[in-house]
Structures are given as structure tokens and as C-alpha cells.
Amino acid sequence: MEEILISHDKPIQSLKCHLEGVYELNQFYLKEIQQNLKDDDVFKSLVSILSLFHDFGKSTEYFQKYITSEKDSKDKKKNHALLSSILTYFITDHFLKQKGGEFLFLPFFLFVIVRRHHGNLNNIEIESIKFTDEERKRLHIQIDALILDGFLNQLSNLLSYLPEEVQILFPLTKEQLHAWIDEFEIELSKIRRSWTRYVRQKSKNQNDLSDYLLICLLYSLLLDGDKNQAALRKTDVLQKRRDLPYVAVDQYKRKQNWDNTGQMNKLREKAYQEINEKVLTIHGSLFSITLPTGMGKTLA
């Protein structure tokens, strides 16, 4: 009989249902946003990898015992984010190498995102520091305690959501995972050296925020999908974003029948018209408005 791995309690939810739910939510979100990225298919695949592997570490005996108990355990072996993040790193690294092209630090970015999906993002340089002996030992103990067949059985129905380059990695073995833990120490040293050179080169163009925005977008997608799925347990409560006509504010203003003869309202209308004219001539999607309090920034 297949062992059901638990992700959340009150009410009980299986790990499979949670991972699939996060994936479905993120597919919904992807339709709502526009990614100005060079390779949109790669981006969507990264979101799928994050969705389906961010909680891999929950399939240890330690977490399963914790989630079905009184939650008073202080045993760090129940923690799941670090183990999940290392698996995510190697899966992403394999996927991108198969795709070819220049993706540089993307596997490490996904490692950081998964590692910190229950906390806050740290400085990238801090994340590349080697593990402590305690962390390394704990990771190997967690792998020995993996209910791996249970995870792979639950994942088997979700593999079709992943690109073929990822599907061929499965089924995984504990031996492979142990090897990845040891190999990741070497990877961290390489990343640390490369990152220092990369930042030095990047600093010459301080207007390039592409890495920062990419990390924030992926992190936001994972957090929103993860937390909403855990809280809502379904996607049908989410509504598609409505397309508002560009004249909506003008129509609203006309319906209010405001008196524009007063001095203050004249200034507000002047500011409104000037902002509208500027928006039509400026490229971009994000703007800031600087006006004194009471001058109509909300409607503008």
C-alpha cells in the first residue's frame, strides 16, 4: 500500500496535493504577469521546478513524525528547507545544462529561494558560505531517513508538469542525494569565487537590476503559491484580473460631477492632465508621482 506523505495538518493535506496545488496556482499567476525575459519557456520551467520541489524535505521520517504529533519537537532534523534547496539546485543545474545557453547563477538563485521560503532572503554572499559540520551531518541523516519511495510515488503523477530534461533524472536514489550533498560543498566554493568577480563586473553598470528583479519575481511566486495553497487549499477562489479601460478614471470623474471652479480643484485637474500627457511620452511600466498632499495622486 502506498504511503501517504503529509504536508499540512488541520485539516490534513498530502504532500502531493500541496505540491500540485502550488504548481496550479503558479500557472494561474503566470498568466497574470508579463515576463520580459529572453527565454520565457525556461522561466516557466524554473517556476515548475520551484513549485514541485520546494518541500521535498518534508518526505523525511522526522518531518512526518513532527507534522502528525503535538508540534513540540525542537529536533532540527524535522526542518525541510535546506535539503529541499539542494535538490532544487542540482535539478535546476542539470536542466539548464541540457538547455544550453548562458544562465550563470540561476541554479544558485533557486537554491536561495527555496532555502529561505519560510523566512527572508539574505545577501547572496552569505548564502554561499559553506555548511557547518552540524548542518552537513544533519543533511546526511535526513537523507537516510527519507521515505523516498513514498515521495517518488506521489511525484510520479506530477512529472508530466516538468520539462523532459528534468524527468529523465528520476527515479532518484539516496546514494545520488548523498553524493550531491558532498558535491554541493565544492559548488559553493566555485559560486563564492565567481560571484565576487561577477559583482565587480556588474557594479560598472549600476542600472542593471535584472538579477534582483528575477530573484524577487521567482521568490514572490513561490511564496504566494505556497502560502495561498496552504491557506485556501483550492484555486477557484482566485479571480482573473479584470482588464480596466484606460478611460476608467475619466469616466469616474465625470460621474462625480465635481466643481472644478475652485482654485484647489483647478490645480488638481492641471496636475492630472500633465501626468496623463507625460505617461503617453515615457517608456516603461513603473512610475512615481511627486505631488503635495491633497493634489490628487490617487486618481492620477
Helix, strand or coil, per DSSP, at residue 13: strand
Residues 200 and 107 in one domain: yes
State the CATH number of the domain containing residue 55: 1.10.3210
Residue 120 lies in a domain: yes
How far is the C-alpha of 143 from the C-alpha of 202, rounded, in Å?
38
Overall domain count for the chain: 2
C-alpha angle with apex 289: 285 to 292, nearest 5 degrees?
A: 170
How many CA atoms does the CB half-sphere of 44 hold within 13 Å? Answer: 15
Residue 149 lies in a domain: yes
Residue 1 lies in a domain: no
Integer Rg of the chain from CA? 24
Q: Kindly tell me the burial class for residue 77, based on how many C-beta atoms sit within 10 Å of its own C-beta (0-12, 13-18, 19 or more).
A: buried
Residues in the chain: 300
Residues 74 and 143 in one domain: yes
Report the pLDDT value the prediction gives residue 230, as an integer from 0 to 100. Answer: 87
Residue 42 lies in a domain: yes
| Beta pairing, strands 13-14 & 6-8 | antiparallel
Residue 239 lies in a domain: no
Amino acid at 191: I
C-alpha angle with apex 235: 88 to 57, nearest 5 degrees?
A: 25
Report the pLDDT value the prediction gives residue 37, as an integer from 0 to 100. Answer: 60
Of the candidates 15, 17, 37, 34, the one whose C-alpha atom is nearest the C-alpha of residue 25 is: 17
Residues 91 and 146 in one domain: yes
CA dihedral of 253, 254, 256, 262, whole degrees rounded to 10? 80
Report the pLDDT value the prediction gives residue 44, as an integer from 0 to 100. Answer: 93
Residues 162 and 283 in one domain: no
Question: Which cell goes with 253?
Answer: 470623474
Report the pLDDT value the prediction gives residue 38, as an integer from 0 to 100. Answer: 58
How far is the C-alpha of 202 from the C-alpha of 199, rounded, in Å?
5
Report the pLDDT value the prediction gives residue 263, as an integer from 0 to 100. Answer: 85
Residues 180 and 106 in one domain: yes
Helix, strand or coil, per DSSP, at residue 7: strand
Q: By residue range, what is the domain housing residue 127?
A: 6-232
Residues 159 and 39 in one domain: yes
Residue 97 lies in a domain: yes
Report the pLDDT value the prediction gives residue 256, as an integer from 0 to 100. Answer: 82
Report the pLDDT value the prediction gives residue 250, as an integer from 0 to 100. Answer: 84
Count other Cβ atoms within 10 Å, centred on residue 230: 14
8-50 tens-digit pLDDT? 988 899 999 999 999 999 998 998 886 666 578 899 999 999 9
Report the pLDDT value the prediction gives residue 51, as an integer from 0 to 100. Answer: 98
Q: Which residues of the chain have pLDDT under 50?
A: 1
Amino acid at 53: F
Residues 152 and 257 in one domain: no
Domain final residue pick, 208, 232, 256: 232
Residue 49 lies in a domain: yes
Domain final residue pick, 193, 211, 232: 232
Residues 296 and 217 in one domain: no
Residues 202 and 129 in one domain: yes
Domain final residue pick, 232, 262, 287: 232
205-220 tens-digit pLDDT? 777 788 888 999 999 9
Residues 149 and 200 in one domain: yes
Residues 254 and 214 in one domain: no
Helix, strand or coil, per DSSP, at residue 68: coil
Residue 145 lies in a domain: yes
Residues 176 and 296 in one domain: no
262-287 tens-digit pLDDT? 888 888 888 888 888 887 777 777 77
Alpha carbon distances (Å) from 247 to 118, 276, 281, 287, 296:
41, 11, 17, 18, 17
Report the pLDDT value the prediction gives residue 237, as an integer from 0 to 100. Answer: 60
Report the pLDDT value the prediction gives residue 240, as an integer from 0 to 100. Answer: 66
